[in-house]
């Protein structure tokens, strides 16, 4: 009996094997004919079947480079060393390293902080400075936190991702910027402080003609969690281009919040229809501030500097009280869910150039105390934040740092609705792996670690808290391989 079962099993296995071989050869023949008969791809036509491997390797190459071939410090947009620190910070595990730094200390542009002979003791209690934005507003906003969560809209990010960021921001005590997609219930779930962003399409506060609706604006301002309003002029990753949300990501919920059709591409205008000169910007800032009673500022990436000079002159002409309450300065290194490569690669100034330009200008015009500066764009590590503060920023806002804290693996699929971690997709199946309770704790841990290590740098430089860092506390490596003081280096601007 056992022998019969054995023979039967062998016959079944043999039959399946033969069927598999037959199907395999049929598939090969089909691909051969398909490749030979098509003329769209020369590689496949000239090298049928094996030519297909070229496209497979091209697709998988970016992932193999990330895990096997790229060195710790060479990958872009964020290298392995940067991501590793963020992951450890988010998980609350040991952030120390051993043996020696893998950072090249003579690389042009590298920042080095100057340790003091008598550092401040980490064990001592150092009170963080309270910074107030919009002191003349009906509802000014005050915070001690330096690091905050930059603009990411519901649409670009998924429901569980926004929920996790909301709870994480509340736990860390920082604000969360809504991005230009409007205010959703998911932003409100964590009861965190919110900055409502008004993009060129004015999603969430627009009427049927796409113009600013004061009633809807007042309704948004009625939420106690909404602390400030930000008018987005331009974004670092796509200056001169409005927001782009592919139709595949425009669900019925997102469409209702934005006031657009379901399943159609959400393309924001590349500028505000109301703006033709700097005076128009000042007018809108004043209008929104009057309607809401809350601090109102602008966000822009700097390219041409003349408009900044004109803006400052217009403010001084009208009176310093007409100034925006804050200026969020984005970098050409900023991130986004979707942008034309021509803009992302080649338009706008990086923060290392634009931040000293803005700070120097506001100082020259006597507006530095009136307009708070929020630096944004690849500000994900304590050293980068410390540089921004030393250069003259009051706050920093990071989007991608918090995306890594959520579990982002830099798969570069934000625009395809296929994000494998569930962060930038509305595919319910892919979202299942993103637990807001777990990820919110990681977001909070990352932000706490960012502040803690920032203080470590400040104390090493001999100051009590990070905002006391100045350009005299850091040096920048020049082309000769020798560093000079940031103060001397930035005088040329």
End of a domain among 16, 35, 69? Answer: 69
Q: Are 374 and 328 in contact (CB under 8 A)?
A: yes
End of a domain among 17, 38, 69? Answer: 69
Q: Do residues 179 and 295 share a domain?
A: yes
For residue 78, is it within any domain? no
For residue 106, is it within any domain? no
d(CA 370, CA 177): 21
For residue 104, is it within any domain? no
Q: Do residues 56 and 192 share a domain?
A: no
The pLDDT score that the predictor gives to residue 329 is 96
User: What b/e string do you get for 217-246 counting C-beta neighbours within 10 Å, with b at 16 or more?
Assistant: beebbeeebbbbbbbbbbbbbbbebbbbbb
Q: Do residues 370 and 486 share a domain?
A: yes
The pLDDT score that the predictor gives to residue 7 is 77
Q: Roughly what angle, to the nearest 10 degrees, separates helices 278-292 and 214-221?
A: 60
Q: Do residues 140 and 61 share a domain?
A: no
Q: Are 243 and 199 in contact (CB under 8 A)?
A: yes
Classify residue 101 by burial, with Cβ atoms within 10 Å: 0-12, 13-18, 19+. exposed
For residue 99, is it within any domain? no
End of a domain among 35, 53, 69? Answer: 69
The pLDDT score that the predictor gives to residue 67 is 65
Whose CA is closest to 131, among 484, 395, 421, 353? 395
Question: What's the domain count of the chain?
Answer: 2
Q: Do residues 64 and 181 share a domain?
A: no
DSSP summary character for residue 464: S
SS3 454: helix
Q: Do residues 290 and 429 share a domain?
A: yes
Task: Count Cβ atoms below 10 Å from residue 330 Cβ, excluding itself.
Answer: 29
Task: Count Cβ atoms below 10 Å from residue 276 Cβ, excluding itself.
Answer: 10
pLDDT, averaged per 10 consecutive residues of the chain (493 residues), comes to: 68 85 90 86 83 75 66 73 88 84 83 93 82 96 96 91 96 96 94 96 88 94 97 85 81 87 84 92 97 97 93 96 96 79 83 94 96 94 96 95 89 82 88 91 96 95 94 92 90 70
The pLDDT score that the predictor gives to residue 68 is 65
The pLDDT score that the predictor gives to residue 335 is 78
Q: Do residues 293 and 442 share a domain?
A: yes
Q: Do residues 372 and 246 share a domain?
A: yes
Q: Do residues 216 and 315 share a domain?
A: yes
Q: Do residues 191 and 315 share a domain?
A: yes
For residue 81, is it within any domain? no
CA gyration radius for the chain? 26
Classify residue 73 by burial, with Cβ atoms within 10 Å: 0-12, 13-18, 19+. middle
For residue 175, is it within any domain? yes
The pLDDT score that the predictor gives to residue 336 is 79
For residue 75, is it within any domain? no
- List, as own/partner pairs, every contact residues 248-251 make where C-beta atoms lie below 8 angstroms and the sequence separation is at least 24, other chains included: 248/416, 248/417, 249/155, 249/156, 249/417, 249/425, 249/426, 250/155, 251/426
CATH at 401: 3.20.20.70
Contacts of 262 (CB under 8 A, 6+ apart): 250, 251, 252, 255
Q: Do residues 256 and 329 share a domain?
A: yes
Q: Do residues 50 and 162 share a domain?
A: no
Whose CA is closest to 153, among 57, 284, 251? 251
For residue 202, is it within any domain? yes
Write out the DSSP string of 404-449.
HHHT----S-TTTT--TTSSS---HHHHTT--HHHHHHHHHHHHHH
Q: What is the 3-state secondary structure (H, E, C) of 229-298?
A: EEEECCCCCCCCCCCEECHHHCCHHHHHHHCCCCCCCEECCCCCCCCCCHHHHHHHHHHHHHHHCCCEEE
- Domain membership of residue 18 as a residue range: 2-69
């Amino acid at each position: 009996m056992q022998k019969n079962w054995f023979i039967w099993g062998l016959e079944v296995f043999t039959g399946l094997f033969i069927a598999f071989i037959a199907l395999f050869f049929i598939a090969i023949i089909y691909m051969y004919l398909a490749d030979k008969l098509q003329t769209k791809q020369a590689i496949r036509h000239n090298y049928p079947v094996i030519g297909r491997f070229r496209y497979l390797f091209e697709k998988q190459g970016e992932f193999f480079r990330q895990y096997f071939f790229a060195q710790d410090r060479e990958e872009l947009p964020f290298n392995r060393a940067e991501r590793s620190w963020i992951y450890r910070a988010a998980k609350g595990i040991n952030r120390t390293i051993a043996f020696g730094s893998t950072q090249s200390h003579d690389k042009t542009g590298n920042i080095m902080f100057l340790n003091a002979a008598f550092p401040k003791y980490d064990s001592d209690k150092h009170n963080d400075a309270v910074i107030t934005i919009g002191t003349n507003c009906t509802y000014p906003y005050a915070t001690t936190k330096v690091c905050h969560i930059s603009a990411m809209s519901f649409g670009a990010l998924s429901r569980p991702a926004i929920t996790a960021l909301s709870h994480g921001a509340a736990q860390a005590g920082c604000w969360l910027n809504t991005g230009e997609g409007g205010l959703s219930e998911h932003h409100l779930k964590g009861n965190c402080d919110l900055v409502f962003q008004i993009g060129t399409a004015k999603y969430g506060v627009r009427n049927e003609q796409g113009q600013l609706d004061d009633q809807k604006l007042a309704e948004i301002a009625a939420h106690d969690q909404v602390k400030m309003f930000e008018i987005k002029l331009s974004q670092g990753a796509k200056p001169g281009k409005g927001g782009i949300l592919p139709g595949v990501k425009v669900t019925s919920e997102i469409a209702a919040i934005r006031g657009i059709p379901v399943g159609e591409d959400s393309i924001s205008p590349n500028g505000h229809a109301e703006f033709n000169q700097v005076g128009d910007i000042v007018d809108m800032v004043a209008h929104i501030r009057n309607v809401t009673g809350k601090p109102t500022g602008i966000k822009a990436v700097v390219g041409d500097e003349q408009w900044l000079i004109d803006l400052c002159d217009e403010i001084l002409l009208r009176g310093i009280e007409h100034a925006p309450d804050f200026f969020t300065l984005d970098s050409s290194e900023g991130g986004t869910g979707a942008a034309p490569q021509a803009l992302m690669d080649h338009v706008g100034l990086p923060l290392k150039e634009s931040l000293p330009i803005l700070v120097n200008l506001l100082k020259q015009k006597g507006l530095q105390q009136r307009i708070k500066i929020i630096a944004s764009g690849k500000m994900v590590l304590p050293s980068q934040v410390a540089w921004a503060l030393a250069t003259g920023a009051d706050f920093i806002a990071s989007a991608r740092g918090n995306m890594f804290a959520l579990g982002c693996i830099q798969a570069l699929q934000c625009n395809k609705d296929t994000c494998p971690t569930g962060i930038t997709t509305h595919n319910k199946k892919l979202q299942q792996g993103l637990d807001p309770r777990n990820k919110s704790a990681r977001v909070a841990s990352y932000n706490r670690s960012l502040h803690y290590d920032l203080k470590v740098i400040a104390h090493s430089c001999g100051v009590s808290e990070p905002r006391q860092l100045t350009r005299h506390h850091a040096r920048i490596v020049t082309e000769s391989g020798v560093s000079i003081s940031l103060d001397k280096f930035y005088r040329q601007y």
